[in-house]
Each structure stands twice: as C-alpha cells, then as structure tokens.
Structure 1
Amino acid sequence: MTEAVLVDMIHGCGPRCTAASLPEDEPATPSHVFLLCGTGDAWLSACSSSVHVLDSGSTVERLYRFKQTVDQLDLSSVRVYTTPRGRDVLLLYQQQLFTEVYTFHYHVDHRPTCPGCAGPAHSAGDPPGGDDVDQVEQQVSRFLQQLPALRGGVRVLTSSLIPECFGHGFSTRSGGVSSIPSLSSLNLFSSSRRRDPEAVVTENRRRLGLHAGFYPRPLRLVKVDHGSHVWVVGRAEPERYDAMVTDRPGVVVGAPGADCMTILLADQRKRVIGAAHAGWKGTLMGVAMATVGAMVTVFGCRVTDIVVAVGPSVGGCCFTLNRDQINDFTRIHEDCVSDPESDRPHVNIRLANRVLLQRGGVLPEHIHDDMETERSSVTPCTSCHPEDFFSHVRDGPNFGTQVGFLWIRGRD
C-alpha cells in the first residue's frame, strides 16, 4: 500500500540524528517522502526533487500543507520518523488536523546517536499536559482563521416566509476553508469517515455564524438517525434524533443535509421554532409532522400558525429508489413516483413531505418548497447544482454537508 513518509527533523538534533532512525531496508528515495525541517538548512539543496520539503511557516502551516498534499495524492497511511518528544508534539497536531480516515505509524528513535542527542529530544519526558493541548488547539484555530475563503464568500438562502423575529438560513458550499474537492469549501459536518477534521468544520461554522449573525452562539445540529424522534431542547438529550424544537431565544438549532431535506419550522405567535432532517426514511416515518406535533403538544402552538421552509435537497429529477421501496410513496400520493415501472424509479420526497404536512393541518401557503413559485427558491436540487451544493447522490461517500439553521432573536 502506498503511504506517505514524514521525517521529523525539527524535534531531533538535526538531519544526521533523524537519518539514523531510518531502518536499513528503507529505500534511498521512497515515494512521497516529506521532510519536516527548519529553514535555511544548506543540506536541503541536495534533496531529490521527489522529496517534499516542509521548511517554511509555523509548525501548523507546515503540517497543514503536508495534509493537503496527502489528500491530493489520496493517501491515508502515514509513517512518521521522529524522537519521543517529537511524537508527543506531533500527536497533538494529528488530533487537530486529521481524522480517523488516516493511519499514523510512529517510528521513534530512542538511541543517542550524536553528542547532542542525550538531550530532551530523545528522552521520553512528561506526557503533554492540558496546557500543551490548549496551546496547539489555539495555534490551529488562529491559523485556520487567517486562511482565505474558497469559492468566494459565504452565501446563504433565506425564506421570505420565515418572520423577521427569527434568524435563519440555508447554507451553500462557498466561503469556507475545506480544501478537499468534494468537501470544498463550507463543509459543516465532521465524522470519522471524512477527511475534514473538527477544527476545519469549527472554522467553517464560525464563518457561517459571522455571516448569518448568530456567532458566537454555537450551532446545534440534530444527531441524525433517519427516524422521527424529536428532542425538546432543555430536556434530557437522547443519543440520536432527527428534529429539535425550542422556545429559548438565542439557541441556534439546525439540521444537516446533503440531499436529505433540512426543514425549518416557526410559529411567530408562540415564538417557537423547530429544525428537522428528512431523508426518504425519515419522510416515511413522518419526521416533519412529528416536529409539528411537538410544537403543538409541548408549547401550545396552533398548526395553522406554523410556517415551514424546506431547504436545498435532492429533487425528483435525481433521486431514485429500488422498485420494492416505492410503494409507501405512491400511497402518500401517486405523483411522488414519476416512473413506477422503471428499474430505479424517481421519487419526489419533497412532494411527499408537503402532502403529509398538509394532511396534518399545515396550510398550503405556509409551506415554502419547490412548488412555491411566488417566492425566491430555497429548495434547488442539490444534485443538479454542483457549484452551489454538496450531494451524496452526485458525489458518493466523500460528500460535504450544508445545513439549515434557525434561532429566535431577542426582543428589542
């Protein structure tokens, strides 16, 4: 398996010291070798052109460039040659800049190979403490904050149906710092299966919050389970849920999506809001009406007062299911499936949600989706617009995530 080799020359005594830690069977010029070293070393001019020299900028900047190159090469296995102290330090940066997609193998040299090696670099020393962790976290945060935005500035879609007493929006993919093509650039969700670390996603959320006006309040996203469970903010939080409701001013609720619908709900009279994630499974389980139901039963909302905005999501033009999965949609409404005899019928989950909401008592004119033609669209097809939105259907498993978000503004 092809891997990257990172040779740490910062936390040793010099090139000879680090070279001594390389195994004898290591090729003279293995592919994808990276040298993490100081500036102004004359010996660097002798390095092969195939060796990547990381010798400028802060440690964060060098390791971030290393990660970007590893991502461009589509590598995930990294072999690191360093000292005990170097390993302790690099592990802190690894936790900030990488995810579980990457596998790091540390080869640590404990041998004193030159007079200077008897110093602290080759001794185990104390493990990094809380101050070290905080310092690296702050360094990474400051570095990411000064990076230029990719794909232009942050842009959000807003619904004219949501009253002004609420702040809200649906994010697009522009204005963030995620550099991996399928995640570029305002990816707002991190997981162990993606290459975007939490630090990058946190910076993207900060930029979204500054643009939308809710920063420094945190963005609270539902913990997707593709079901219909609704969490009432303030009560014991379940491990997984696909919607949340609240009447607390300033709490920013949100739902992620990358084809699945992000649905925002608001009642101006009661000043209550909700956010829901609705994929095809959640749609069939009734997550949209479950959210409406929680607003009614917990906060005393009237169904006819609730307005609903449906964010960017995959349209019936691009979303398909197996034939044995469409019957529940045709039972909701025959127009939910445009080609039922096809091997992979196209399914309109937006229409299914509209029908279910209207059956539950939400007024048709209180639903802003792609069937609403008198308002600016907030429900374009994510798969059809690669420049604006992330899409699982289009991009496969390495997809990014946009969000719908909503909060209650404080009273003047």
Structure 2
Amino acid sequence: MAEAVLIDMFSEEVTSHHYCIKQFLDAAMNIVLKKSDATSSIYIMYCQTFGCDNNDARGLFLHAIRSFQGLKKRIELISTAGVAATLYNVKQKLDESNISRVQIILPKSRTCLMKAFIDRLFTQVYTFEYVLLELNYAQPENSSQSSNVEQAITEKQLELVECDIQIFLGTLPARGELTILKSPLIPESLFNHGFTTRCGGVSCIPELSSLNLYSSNIRKDSPAVVAENLRRLSVAVGFSSKSFYLVKAAHASDVWIMGQKEPDSYDGIVTNQKGVTVAAPGADCIPLLFSDPVKKAYGAAHSGNKVRHMIS
C-alpha cells in the first residue's frame, strides 16, 4: 500500500474552473480514503501560474477539500513554476521520510507525460501506482484532445520534459565547492586529469551528497541529477560530458580497450584517443589513474574493496 499520495493538478482542464477543481479533488480524495494507508502523506501538486496567485490557489484547494476534514492534517500543497521543480520538491520530502511506495492520482490524458518526468527524476528504488481519473465535465470549445484518453507523448514533448528538468537542476545551488585534486606524477601538459571530492554537486541524498557521478537502479539519486553533477564537473575541468566514460565496475579484472568491443562490465578503461575522458568511481574503493607520456595513452581503473579485503 502506498506510503504517499501525489495528486496531479497541473492539467488546465482540471484548473479551468472552481467546479472542475472541486470535482477532481472530490474524486481524488475518495480514492485516497479507499486505497491508501491511513497514515500516508498527501501532496497536492499544482502550478503557480494556473490562473490566480498562489494565495488564491491555496484558498481554492483548501475550500475544495473542506468536506474531508479527516485528511487535512495529512495534506500538503506544493506549488512551483514547473512540473520538474515540483516533483523534485516532492522527492526531497519523500526521501526525508524514507518513503518509496507512491500513488499518483492524475487525469488519464497526462499519464505518459507524468511517467516521462518520473522516469528521469526517480529510480527503480521507488514504486509508483498510477490511478487514472476520467473527467466528466465539458471540455473547452477550443480543445482538440480529450482528458479521458491517454495521450502518447511525442518526441517534442520528451525534449521539453528534459529541457524543463535540465533548466531547473541548473538553477540549484552547489553543495560545497567543486575541488579537483591533482597528481604531481601525471604531466599536466599532456593529460588533463584529477580526482574529485564529494563537494560541489547538487545530490542531496546524505550518503551520496553532493557530487555523485554514478546512478543505478538500487540508488535514490536519479540519472538527471547525476547528469547535472557531470555537467558541472565538465564545465569546471574543461571536457565534454558527451565523451565521458565511466568504468562499469564489477569487482573483476576485465579491461576495456577503447576501439575494441565494449564488455558488459569492466573495472578498467585504457585508450590513446584524443578528446575522450575516462573515469573510475571511488567510495570505499580506490580509483586509479594511469598515463603513458611516450605513447600518449591513459586509463582509469576501479580497485574494488572486495579485492583489497581478499589481499589483506
């Protein structure tokens, strides 16, 4: 059963009239009463610019749910200028409460669009149940789409989703100063190199804060946040994030020689190609960098803690 419920009020059809708001929230709250845990948090998400100022909007929503007094203490209204910012705000609240099972109540027409945001801002650590509401009130005369039909998302819409996320994440303040440590053993005139610290990124998960550069299905840090951390690192150091390669660590001995077929997993990368950045992760493991100034070759390797434990 869901530990938190998100109610999507971003649709113009939902917020076009006071009656529409009340009808949608009535239906959503009845679903909450029937299908959610009695202690689950409820987040009503809406856009600040849906037609009235923020205080008026809050008043409308609070008035619309006045008949559900038993739920009021569990309800929080969350409003920002965009979907990405709102979902990011919600995710922080979920993470603070260690919540991973989430129910989303939304108009059927917005399902694919919402899933596109969720896929980019969350990982598989979280499970989402989508409850689709069919809207029975009349559509605006100039509307060519029905809210009761699940609309397939277009390539253009996907680009807008990714743009919304990237722009928002780019506005977040860095957590600490981005610092690059250099090795005197590697000639700086030949190889742009360095070791990052934990500081200077935007990741807010405590164990991953803040310059996390690795995303996986078992972590809470989303691919979008990791991509923003990498973007900031690339700007600071001077490389292209599009030609950045991180080893796919498996605590084994496989090495990928760039130019040959890429293995499914490998703990080392070597190359002599120009304009390529290779890297290895390090947490309780040790990242190693290699350079050959004669052959102009370089590499990165992940020295896993499992191997070190076996040796010690």
- The equivalent residue for 1:43 is 60
Computing the radius of gyration over CA atoms, which structure comes out larger, 1 or 2? Answer: 1
**1:58 aligns to 2:82 (yes or no):** yes
**Where do residues 113-262 of structure 1 align in structure 2 (5 Å cutoff)?**
114-116=137-139, 120=145, 122-150=147-175, 152-164=176-188, 165-262=190-287
- The equivalent residue for 1:34 is 43
- CA distances 1:322-369 after superposition (whole Å, capped 9, x unpaired): xxx5xxx3xxxxxxxxxxxxxxxxx3xxxxxxxxxxxxxxxxxxxxxx
- CA distances 1:238-280 after superposition (whole Å, capped 9, x unpaired): 1111111111111111111211111101111111111111114
TM-score, normalised by the number of residues in structure 1: 0.65
Check the 8 A contact 1:83/1:121 in 2, yes or no. Answer: no
Q: How many residues are treated as equivalent by the alignment? A: 285
SS in structure 1 of the partner of residue 162 of structure 2: helix
**1:4 aligns to 2:4 (yes or no):** yes
CA spacing shift, 1:196–1:121, aligned 2, 3 Å: farther
Check the 8 A contact 1:84/1:121 in 2, yes or no. Answer: no
Please state how far the C-alpha of 1:190 moved relative to its aligned partner: 0.2
SS in structure 1 of the partner of residue 207 of structure 2: helix
Structure 2 counterpart of 1:115, one-letter code = A
TM-score, normalised by the number of residues in structure 2: 0.84
| Structure (1/2) with the larger helix percentage | 2
Distance 2:109 2:84 in 1: 17
Check the 8 A contact 1:227/1:281 in 2, yes or no. Answer: no
Structure 1 counterpart of 2:33, one-letter code = P
Equivalent in 94, 109, 124 of residue 133 of structure 2: 109
- The equivalent residue for 2:25 is 19
Instruction: Give the structure, 1 or 2, with the largest relative contact order (CA under 8 Å, sep 6 or more).
Output: 1
- CA distances 1:154-210 after superposition (whole Å, capped 9, x unpaired): 112111111121011111110101111111110000000011111110110111111
**1:73 aligns to 2:103 (yes or no):** no
Distance 1:4 1:121 in 2: 28
- CA distances 1:61-92 after superposition (whole Å, capped 9, x unpaired): 11110111111111001111111122222111
Check the 8 A contact 1:18/1:82 in 2, yes or no. Answer: no
Distance 1:233 1:264 in 2: 16
- The equivalent residue for 1:264 is 289
SS in structure 2 of the partner of residue 168 of structure 1: coil
Structure 1: 5+ residue stretches without partners: 284-320, 330-346, 348-412
Check the 8 A contact 2:111/2:151 in 1, yes or no. Answer: no
- The equivalent residue for 1:95 is 119
Check the 8 A contact 2:135/2:148 in 1, yes or no. Answer: no
Distance 1:88 1:25 in 2: 21
Percent sequence identity over aligned pairs: 35
Q: 118-127 vs 182-191, which deviates more?
A: 118-127
Structure 2 counterpart of 1:225, one-letter code = A
Check the 8 A contact 1:7/1:18 in 2, yes or no. Answer: no
